[in-house]
């Protein structure tokens, strides 16, 4: 991941920290690996306590404002804790891939476990 992406993610992390329902945010994919094309988006997994329209809209607003500022497109996936735990139990390829290549750029006080994506509340 390059400086431009790191700087934007740091700004986004500050905004995410305002909402206590947002537990963790992880960047992954070609921009993190460094093998992206010019039109590649930045893949992001956001973990929240519970998913609803209010939290979804809040997250989309944050990322959209930085999309305009940075000229980086974001591809967002939002998981509730329940969805995350379900996918971990299944050992889903999606979660395994994030475990291998993901970079956590926001981690609330609730989720400090380094060897897992699990976040407890």
Domains with residue ranges and CATH for the chain: 3-119 (3.30.460.10)
CB 36 within 8 A of CB 101: no
Output the tens digit of pLDDT for each of the chain's 121 residues. 678 889 999 999 999 999 999 999 999 998 888 888 877 899 999 999 999 999 999 999 999 999 988 888 999 999 999 999 999 999 999 999 999 999 999 999 654 444 445 443 3
Look up the pTM and report it: 0.86
Residue 28: which of 16, 11, 42, 39 has the closest Cα? 42
Q: How far is CA 27 from CA 34, 50, 53, 54, 82, in A?
A: 12, 20, 22, 22, 20
């Amino acid at each position: 991941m390059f400086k431009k992406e790191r700087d934007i993610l740091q700004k986004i992390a500050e905004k995410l920290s305002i909402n206590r329902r947002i537990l963790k945010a992880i960047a992954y994919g070609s921009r993190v690996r460094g093998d992206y094309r010019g039109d590649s988006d930045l893949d992001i997994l956001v973990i929240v306590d519970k998913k609803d329209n209010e939290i979804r809209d809040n997250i989309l607003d944050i990322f959209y404002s930085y999309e305009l500022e940075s000229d980086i497109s974001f591809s967002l996936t939002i998981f509730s804790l329940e969805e995350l735990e379900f996918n971990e139990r299944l050992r889903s390829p999606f979660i395994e891939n994030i475990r291998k290549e993901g970079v956590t750029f926001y981690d609330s006080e609730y989720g400090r476990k380094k060897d897992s994506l699990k976040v407890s509340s």
